[in-house]
């Protein structure tokens, strides 16, 4: 059984569960997100999700090919949320910055889910929509296709990579985070200047920095570099007589 999953759009009969709830992909994904929030990034199990839905765990396999498939659907949901909070202004740089931050923020809003999904390509509609949007912004700004593709690649990978990394620290349980911070204080902050002069000298500054994400800083350097690249490409096509 459960070999083939009926696509959500062709689903016809909706039999209520023994406990009364009527299932749907959306309900399952939303419940899964809640489970992740409540029980941590390893707390999403078929049994637990089934119990929360008032359904047998095996029922999930009528909607998803496996937990892996469900995971991709969760990622798609996060991408969709990011796209929904974003609006275009027409200025390519601020549009890209806003879009990157929206994706990053959307993942960080559900860190436990982000940990599971950020490094996976889903190939689902809203993810494709994000890609199309980014390429559209770049090409609309005048980037030659070859340059647009390079910037697009760096932009999307950078954003997802930081989403995964930053979500990782947020997703720790309170307990684990406390242990981590304690570890930090007891090792990094206490290193003797004799063996580790540079860490010792900057320990105070480090403590203030490491709590924040480096994503905004790196994103801006990428956008700056892209802007220069665009200027060159433009100059090459419309040479300024004063430059010769």
Interface with its own copies (CB under 8 A): 115, 119-121, 123, 128, 131-132, 135-136, 139, 145-146, 148-150, 152-154, 157-158, 160-162, 164-165, 168, 180, 183-184, 187-188, 191, 196-199, 201-202, 205-206, 209-210, 213-214, 217-218, 221-222, 224-225
Size of the site for DNA (CB under 7 A): 32
CA–CA separation, 194 vs 185, rounded Å? 18
For the record, the structure tokens of 46 come out as 């078929």
Q: Which does 218 bind (CB under 5 to 8 A by kind): its own copies, DNA, none?
A: its own copies
Q: Which does 97 bind (CB under 5 to 8 A by kind): DNA, its own copies, none?
A: none
Q: Which does 62 bind (CB under 5 to 8 A by kind): DNA, its own copies, none?
A: DNA
Looking only at Cα atoms, what is the longest distance across the chain?
Answer: 80
CA–CA separation, 4 vs 2, rounded Å? 5
DSSP structure class, residue 55 = S
CA–CA separation, 121 vs 153, rounded Å? 13
The residue among 14 and 198 lying less far from DNA, judged by its C-beta, is 14
Please tell me the chain's helix, strand, coil percentages from 3-state DSSP, rounded to the nearest 5.
70, 0, 30
Q: Which does 150 bind (CB under 5 to 8 A by kind): its own copies, DNA, none?
A: its own copies
Q: Identify the residue whose tokens are 């204080």.
A: 185
Is 111 in contact with 170 (CB distance < 8 Å)? yes
Mark 23-62 with x for binding to DNA (rule: CB under 7 A) and - for no binding.
x--------------------xxxxx-----xxxxxx-xx
The residue among 59 and 122 lying less far from its own copies, judged by its C-beta, is 122
Q: How far is the CB of 63 from its own copies (least distance, A)?
A: 20
The residue among 16 and 142 lying less far from DNA, judged by its C-beta, is 16
Instruction: Single out the residue of 124, 146, 148, 126 nearest to residue 137, CA to CA.
Output: 148
238 binds DNA (CB under 7 A): no
Instruction: Name the CA radius of gyration of the chain, rounded.
Output: 23
Q: Which does 11 bind (CB under 5 to 8 A by kind): its own copies, DNA, none?
A: DNA
Q: How far is the CB of 126 from its own copies (least distance, A)?
A: 13
- Neighbour-count burial of 150, counting CB atoms closer than 10 A to its CB (0-12 exposed, 13-18 middle, 19+ buried): middle
Q: How far is the CB of 147 from its own copies (least distance, A)?
A: 10
Instruction: Single out the residue of 126, 112, 104, 102 nearest to residue 34, CA to CA.
Output: 112
Give the residues lining the site for DNA (CB under 7 A): 1-3, 6, 11-19, 22-23, 44-48, 54-59, 61-63, 66-68
């Amino acid at each position: 059984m459960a070999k083939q999953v009926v696509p959500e759009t062709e689903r016809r009969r909706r039999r209520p569960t023994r406990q009364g709830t009527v299932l749907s992909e959306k309900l399952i994904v939303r419940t899964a997100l809640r489970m992740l929030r409540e029980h941590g990034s390893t707390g999403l199990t078929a049994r637990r999700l089934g119990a929360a839905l008032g359904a047998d765990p095996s029922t999930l396999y009528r909607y998803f090919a496996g937990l892996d498939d469900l995971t991709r659907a969760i990622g798609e949901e996060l991408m969709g949320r990011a796209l929904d909070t974003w609006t275009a202004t027409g200025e390519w740089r601020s549009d890209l910055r806003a879009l990157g931050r929206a994706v990053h923020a959307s993942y960080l809003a559900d860190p436990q889910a982000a940990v599971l999904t950020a490094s996976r390509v889903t190939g689902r509609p809203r993810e494709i929509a994000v890609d199309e949007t980014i390429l559209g912004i770049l090409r609309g700004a005048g980037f030659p296709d070859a340059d647009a593709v390079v910037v697009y690649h760096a932009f999307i990978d950078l954003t997802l990579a930081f989403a995964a990394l930053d979500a990782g620290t947020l997703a720790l349980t309170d307990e684990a985070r406390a242990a981590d911070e304690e570890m930090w204080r007891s090792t990094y902050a206490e290193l003797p200047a004799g063996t580790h002069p540079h860490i010792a000298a900057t320990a105070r500054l480090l403590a203030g920095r490491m709590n924040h994400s480096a994503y905004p800083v790196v994103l801006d350097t990428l956008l700056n570099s892209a802007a220069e690249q665009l200027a060159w490409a433009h100059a090459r096509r419309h040479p300024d007589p004063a430059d010769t």
